Structures are given as C-alpha cells and as structure tokens.
Amino acid sequence: MDQENKVANEEGDIECYYGKDMEDRIYSQPLLTKRYNTTSQIAIVGANACPVESLDYEIIENELFKQDWRSRRTIQIFQYVLLKWAFALIIGLGTGLVGIFNNIAVENISGFKLLMTTKLMLEHKYYKAFAALASCNLALAAAAAALCAYIAPAAAGSGIPEVKAYLNGVDAHSILAPSTLFVKIFGSILCVSAGFVVGKEGPMVHTGACIASLIGQGGSRKYHLTWRWLRYFKNDRDRRDLITCGAAAGVASAFRAPVGGVLFALEEAASWWRSALLWRTFFTTAVVAIVLRAFIQLCSTGTCGLFGEGGLTMYDVSAAKVAYSVPDILAVILLGVIGGIFGSLYNYLVDKVLRTYSIINEKGPAVKILLVVTISLLTSICSYGLPWFATCIPCPIDTTESCPNTDLSGNYKSFQCPPNHYNDLASLFLNTNDDAIRNLLSTSTTKEFHISSLFIFFIAIYCLGVITYGIAIPSGLFIPVILAGAGYGRLIGRLFDPITKLDVGLFALLGAASFLGGTMRMTVSLCVILLELTNDLLLLPLVMLVLLISKTVGDMFNHGVYDQIVKLKGLPYMEAHAEPYMKHLVARDVVSGPLITFSGVEKVGNILHALKTTGHNGFPVIDEPPFADAPELCGLVLRSHLLVLLKGKIFSRDRVLSGDEVVHRISKFDFAKAGSGKGVKLEDLDIKDEEMDMYVDLHPITNTSPYTVVETMSLAKAAVLFRQLGLRHMCVVPKSQGRPPIVGILTRHDFLPEHILGLYPHIRLRK
C-alpha cells in the first residue's frame, strides 16, 4: 500500500485510513482526501481496502440458527449460562493475578534501581549514580521498545482506544492477539520500571480485554480444544460481553476499584449495555478485588521482596479532616477551571506529538527504538538533574517516618543534602510513580514541598507526559495525568493556605481529579475510582464538583483524549449521537453502489464472481418468481457464510429449493465465528468449471430478519438506530411499491463525516 494511502497511528505504525471500500463493499465514487495540518501526508479515503472491518454483533436469525435453538435441551441452555459466569470468574482471576505480577515486578525492579542510585549518592559518587540510573533506564526502555517494535506493534500505547473501538463494533487488526497480551504485560513492566512518565493502569484495561478475548475464542482446533460447550462462544456478541468484563477487570486490578471498573466499562468503554452484563461485570471485578486483597495480605509479611505493603495503587487520605467553607469552594472551582484548561491543552499537544512521532516511526523498528531511548535519556536527565535546583530542607521533628529516607521509598529523600535534611524534588522524581503520588497526597504535611519545587515538578511532568505518550512502548495516561494534577493541586493548596481549611493533600487529590476530568472527560467512573483509591467518602461532593467543572470547561475546546486517539488511528468509531448536519439528509442520500443482490437460489458462478470482484460483506437476497409472487426482500447473507456454503459444495443442477439438505449436511458451528484470520478464505475454494453453472440454495443461511429503514428516514435517526442496535448492515427499502424491494445498504462508513461531507461539502454550513 502506498504511503499516501495510509494514516499514522499513535504508536508510529502506519495503518490505512478507513475508506468506502474498507467497511463492507467497494464503491465507485471519486476518492476523497483529507489533509492534516501538521504534516504533508494526505489520507486517501476509498483508495484501498483496509483490513479493519465491523463485527457481527447482530444475531443472524437464519434457518440454521433457528434449528440450533430448537434442538437445544434445557441442560444445554443451563450449561451455556453457567459457562458465561465461569468465564467471568476466570477473567477476574487472570486479570487479578496479572495485576499482582505487574506490581511485584515493577516495585522490585524499580526498587533495586533506586536503591543502587541512593547508595552511590550517599557515597558522594554523583556521576556514577547518574550513570547507573540512566543505564538501567536505557536498558529497560530499549527492551520494552524492542518487544513492541518487533513482536506486537499493537501493544504500544494504552490500548483503551482500541478496546473502546472493538466494543463499538470495529475489528482492529491484532489488538487482542496473544502476542499483544504478552508484550502488553512485560512491556508495561519494563517501561514503568524504566522511569517513564507513564502508567501501567491504562495497559491493564487492554490486558484484561486480551485475556477475555483469549478465553472467549470458543476453543481451538490447533490445540484440540474443540469441546461442544466451548463452541457456544464462537460469535462476536458473546466475545463482546466477555471483553467488556475484561476491560472492567483491568480497571479494578489497576486501581483496586471494583465498582469504578464497572462504571468505567459502562461510561467509557462499552457502546451497548444491559442488566445481565452489569451483573457479570460486577461479579468479575469482585473476583479481582478478592484476589488483590489476598495477595496484599501475603506481601505485607515481606515475602514479595521490595514490594512491601504499598505496592498496589492506594492513596489513603482518610486521616485528613474534611471541612470546607465558601473560600474552599471557590478554590475548588478554580481547580476545576484550571484542570479543564490544562486538560484540553494536554489533549491538543498529545495530538500534535502523535502526528509528529508517526512520521518518525514509519522509518522502521530501529528508529522506533532510537526514539524510545532518546526520551528515556531525557527523562533520566530530568529525574536526576532537576532535584539539584532544589534547596535542602531540615527534617521535620514530629514525623513518624525516617528522615532522610535511604533504604526504602518514602517522603524524604536525602539526595545530595547533609544529615537531617532532605530534598523535596528528589522525593518526587527519584521514586516510583505510585510513591510520588502518595507523597503528593500525603496529609498533615503542609510545608513538606516548596512552592517552587511543586511548580518545577508540575511543568516537568506535564511536558514529559506529553512527549512520552506515543512512543513504541505500552503507556497509560492515568498516572501521568494524576501526577501532574496532584502537583498543581498541591501548589494551589499552598497558595490558598492562608484562607482555606482544606489539607494540601486533599487539594492534591482534587487537582488530580480536575486534570483527569479535563483530559478524559469522564465523570461518574472517575469519581468512584478516586473515592475507592483514597478511601474517603467525605470528599464526594468536592470531587463531583471539580469533575463536572473541568469536563465542562474542557469540552469547550476539544474532545476527550481517547476520542481524539480513536479518530487519529482512523478507526471508524460511531458516536452515540448524530451530527447536526444529518438532520438535513435522508437515508437514500448517502447510499452508494454498486448494489449486488442474489436470488434465493443462485448460480454458483454468479456468487463466486461477486465475491471476487467486490469487497462486500453483506448481500441482499431477493426471492423472485417462481419462489415468490413478486420480487421481495428475503433477507441478507454474509460473505463469510457464503464461503462456508460454497466450500461445502451442496449444489444442485436444477434451480430448486434444497434447504433441508443444507440443514442436515452442515452444522451451525461450521458457520460460527472463527478466530482472527482463521475463517474460510476465497482462495480456499476449489470450484470446478462444471460446478460454476450449478445452483445453490441461500435460504438456510440468509438472515430473514435484517433491520430495515424506509429511504425517507432522516439520516440522524438512522444513525442513532444503527449505533444503538449494534448493526453492521442496515437495509434501505423504498417507500413506494412497484420498485425493486431494496434501495441499498447502509454500513458504518456511510454515517461517518468523511463520507457524508465528501458527498455534500456544502452541508458544513448548515448546522
């Protein structure tokens, strides 16, 4: 594929942009172009078929499906329901264990590195200390980048945008593959241990989704896992539900926030929701919480190396007294406004940096690794160099912790200071990210950090967070945003100290909440996650207020960071609402051709020709005399089902119905959803010349109840229906009689702005 027919994604890989022929068919419309402001690249829409397709979340009600459900006994239905809960249990156990493993590995690797640096600092070997710190960081960073660049490029980034797109119905290539899971786990450990301003929390969502996808494959012929009860899950609908549970489990494992995980899946990740899924998701996160609690108690005895008691993310601020007055409310409102402004600016800068990195990274894996190493060196210089600008502070007399702290992570790092003094910037930079957040959220330590140190820390973390996201490593956004937000929140708390009653640690928490709301634009799930993280329900009103304000302010400037990344990746994501200009169009206005239809009993040669010459994934089936009194829409047949039917070669020399033979000779499981790239392909067919003139009955595999809309329905209403029902195809039927029974098919692409505004560029002015 030519370079100009591609668009850059956030990790630097070049992927094709979604086009007209990407989705479900090839169109004959002129090419549409979209020029990006920051580069000279042009994304050509419709030039080549992109491998990204839609998922079949709709239930295909054909004769085989109905026969299968009629033949199922009560015990089989009970077995199917029981398996759903069993898989939810396995997903919770697996994700919880991975979360524990990640934390133990990060704490021990980072602890070894930081203790070695501290030891050299105490011996006044400052250059050797920097060399040790930088070399460890470089080695870990290069290893993480090599894994991403050579094994699984899809593992780079947080993974949340990809999971969000998958649950919207987009089958992005390799995002849930076993290799992606492997690189996500070990790459996340390496890059967080390398001191990057990234988090392992975002990648945990992707990890949970990968575990769920692996479990929900419905068995494997390669590994002889072909039990009948496993094959119940060989469909996109059940896989979607399991992956939703996995995404929720990832949040629960990352933050020890089971309820927050459920709400995150509901608010941000999933596009469709129902009560049964709510129960299973809640059960999955509850299992994660039990696993985490068991291992926390085990590690508290000192059996996990340097892991200790606080390795898992938990920031307890319940010791602080929560009492606030009017000045406190004004300060919180100010925090919300600042968070919205900083958050929208952060999203804008991340978008620009990702586009720039895409140009660099397209030069190959070696350049990706070089970029990662460069950012690692810059991070090491900042982490080690900036604390030299801080002044040494005498240790507080009333502290219960050792000061200065030399053998463990803590609030008081000695660095270059004399005895009984500590360096406040070193306490933030030369710690793990989790420990730095704990230090910022620590209560009853009003003057622990200088105002100048907090300002330097905020600027450094803000800039490092922007330039780090997008390089070829697994990198989450939660921790960088919390770090920066807690930094300026504590800074505001220090400035308002004369007139406020709130503890500066609570200001740090509210600052983190404001920045999270300003970047991610979530409210309910973030509120619950933060409250579960901090163990203080008394902060609920203030957290709600600051999140609402920061989200409102941020929405005035741009979209949330995950929405921006989904768009930048070229994933055809469908929003829950229709665009205003859609109200000026009707369904038939965006239908484009050619429309390929089949008869209920079709000639084999015609089907094979259509499959070879088009990229359609759905074909209308029309019954004509003698099988119907007049042409009528029988339903819709999928390309994948046609391939299976042709491979089975249930043909007849005469144009007659032979549905019973198809039902008896081919099982429903033969038409089940195969794993990624493992289904029947066109080149797998071996159709002889004499078979080309034979006939095949399509009725048994035709979805006889496709969703249809009248051609005069407003495009806005059709878009909402398409999204809410989780469709892949929507048939457009004529309003009047005496015309062909179908006007065309609407797919995901037809509702996207690039297609609509390409057909009607003048409509931009009609809001």
Domain assignment present for residue 531? The answer is: yes
In this predicted model, what pLDDT tens digit does every residue of 439-464 receive, in sequence order? Answer: 898 887 777 899 999 999 999 999 99
pLDDT (mean) for 589-607: 90
Is 332:493 a contact under the CB 8 Å cutoff?
no
Q: Are residues 563 and 593 in the same domain?
A: no
Least confident of 139-153, 234-248, 662-676, 741-755: 662-676
Q: Cα-flanking dihedrals φ and ψ of residue 479, to 5°?
A: -65, -45
Range name among 10-24, 424-438, 590-604 with the lowest pLDDT average: 10-24
Q: Which helix (H) or strand (E) element contains residue 745? A: strand 744-746
Provide the pLDDT for residue 222.
60
CA angle 453, 458, 462 (to 5 degrees): 150
Between these two residues, 129 and 11, which has the higher pLDDT value?
A: 129
Please indicate, yes or no, whether residues 534 and 602 belong to a single structural domain of this protein. no
Together in a domain, 149 and 182: yes
DSSP 449-504: S-HHHHHHHHHHHHHHHHHHBTBSSB-BSHHHHHHHHHHHHHHHHHHTTTT--S-H
Question: Hey, what are 361's tokens?
Answer: 């990274």
Residues 6+ apart with CB under 8 A from 708: 633, 730, 731, 732, 733
Residues 550 and 682 in one domain: no
pTM of this prediction? 0.89
In a domain, 379, yes or no: no
Instruction: Name the residue among 480, 461, 477, 469 with its Cα closest to residue 371.
Output: 469
The CATH number of the domain holding residue 263 is 1.10.3080.10
pLDDT value of position 38: 28
Residue 52 CB partners (closer than 8 Å, separation 6+): 15, 16, 18, 22, 170, 171, 172, 173, 570, 571, 572
Q: Which residue has the higher pLDDT, 527 or 406?
A: 527
CATH of the domain at 747: 3.10.580.10
- Which pLDDT does position 8 carry in this prediction? 34
Residue 192 lies in a domain: yes
Do 599 and 528 belong to one domain?
no
- Of residues 8 and 134, which shows the higher confidence score? 134
Identify the domain containing residue 653 by its residue range. 581-765
Instruction: Examine the pLDDT at 264 and tell me if it is beyond 90.
Output: yes
pLDDT for 399? 66
Whether residue 152 sits in one domain with residue 191: yes
150, 106: one domain: yes
Range 475-483 average pLDDT:
94
Where do we find the tokens 């009017």? 326
CA atoms 143, 149, 150, 156: torsion sign: positive
Give the number of other Cβ atoms within 10 Å of residue 305's Cβ. Answer: 15
Determine the pLDDT at residue 638. 94
Q: CA triplet 689, 691, 695: central angle to 5 degrees?
A: 145
Domain assignment present for 709? yes
19 inside domain: no
Residue 444 lies in a domain: yes
Question: What DSSP character marks residue 422?
Answer: E
Q: Is there a domain that residue 306 lies in?
A: no
What's the pLDDT tens digit per position in 18-68? Answer: 333 333 332 222 222 332 222 222 232 322 234 577 899 988 888 888 887
Task: Report the pLDDT averaged over residues 420-433.
Answer: 88
Q: How many residues does the chain have?
A: 767
Q: Who wins on pLDDT, 5 or 671? A: 671
The mean pLDDT value for 156-166 works out to 93
Count of structural domains within the chain: 3
pLDDT for 535-588, tens place per residue? 888 889 999 999 999 999 999 999 999 999 999 988 899 999 998 889 999 999
For residue 72, pLDDT over 70 is answered with yes
